[in-house]
Amino acid sequence: MQSVRPFLRPVALPALAALPLAAVLMVAPAPASAQSFLEELFGIGRAARPPVPPAPIPGGRAPGAPGEAPPEAAPRPAPAPPAPPKPVVLKTPNDDAVLGQELQQNGNAGSLRLDRSGAGFTARVTLSGTKVSQPTEACKVALGDGQPLALADQGKPNGVTQLASAGPACPLRFEILEGSVMVMPLAEAESCVFTASDCATTPKGLWGPGAAALLPRAQEFDSARGVADKAVRENYKVMTQRARREDVRPIVTEQAAFSSDREQICRAYVREGSHGFCHLRFSEARALSLATRLGLSGAAPTASNAPRPAARVRRPAPAVEGMNPGFEAGAQDQ
């Protein structure tokens, strides 16, 4: 008995291969992009094209060529060296501004008045001190019995007018600053003792106005002091750069002494911490002295010590009867 084989209908192979293709075409994009999709699928489109090498550089070889090193980046220019510091010249004090003014040592002791006499200057000086026999008691001595003392004009060796008294009792040196006078004893001792008056005095220090006249100008002095301190630093740098190596150390020592002397002298000025008048004048004198030693005496000022304008203070509007004061003030601010 013959075995009965099941009847199998042969299926054409191309039809089987078309099934995946038909499925792909069902999800393929629109007919406009079907051709490009099939080219990429079978490797006959852009994927079969060789990569295009980069265009050659005119006048040179193409980058990345075999055996060629990549071009080096152009060297950056070296930064320019910092400009050397320049000396700063402040405005020279006006001598006439202190003439006829009643100045006091540290703003609260003694009396000093400068005046002109012909082509020269005179001074009336009253020194405050303590009794030699009773150090707890105060005393006063008028130089020259209260008469004007003739002062010798010594020019401007430190950038400001310098005067000197020739009296044997207590010879003094006067340096005219802006609105003040720096007084220094010419003798080795800083104190002057008057035996006949039983009085010991120490006239060294800044003689200027009292605190009542200085406190309203505190902001002005603070702004000007920044200019003066910067001038001192710049002139000090120029001094050290121009000096010979063996002369640098004395200049550094002198600068350190300036800072300590300023602190020692100005701490005695009345209400100095509130207005800073003494620190300002002391720094200005130092800056002018350094500029003079640098050969800039009489030069036009290169920095101004004029203060910046003070900020305008908004005053509240007065209250109006029958209205809300807070609302009225708010309306003024808008």
84: tokens are 């050397």
Same domain, 108 and 144: yes
84 within some domain: no
pLDDT over threshold 60, residue 242 = yes
Choose one of 175, 210, 245: the last residue of a domain: 210
Report pLDDT for 311.
Answer: 43
Same domain, 288 and 240: yes
Instruction: Say whether pTM exceeds 0.95.
Output: no
Same domain, 192 and 278: no
Taking the C-alpha atoms of residue 99 and residue 19, their distance in angstroms, rounded to an integer, is 116
Q: Quote the domain boundaries for residue 149.
A: 95-210
CB 175 within 8 A of CB 160: yes
Same domain, 180 and 164: yes
20 within some domain: no
Same domain, 100 and 188: yes
199 within some domain: yes
Which of 72-86, 226-240, 295-309: highest mean pLDDT? 226-240
Dihedrals phi, psi of 262, to nearest 5 degrees: -60, -45
6 within some domain: no
More confidently predicted of 225 and 46: 225
Same domain, 99 and 195: yes
Choose one of 188, 210, 232: the last residue of a domain: 210
Same domain, 110 and 128: yes
Polymer length of the chain? 334
277 within some domain: yes
CB 149 within 8 A of CB 167: yes
Same domain, 221 and 133: no
* Residue appearing with tokens 């094209």: 49
Number of domains the chain is built from: 2
Report pLDDT for 188.
Answer: 85
Same domain, 108 and 175: yes
Same domain, 221 and 193: no
Window from 48-52, 121-125, 190-194, 326-330 with minimum mean pLDDT: 326-330
3 within some domain: no
Report pLDDT for 58.
Answer: 58
More confidently predicted of 316 and 167: 167
61 within some domain: no
Same domain, 103 and 139: yes
Average pLDDT rounded to a whole number, residues 297-302 = 80
pLDDT category, 328, cuts 50, 70, 90? very low
Same domain, 134 and 233: no
179 within some domain: yes
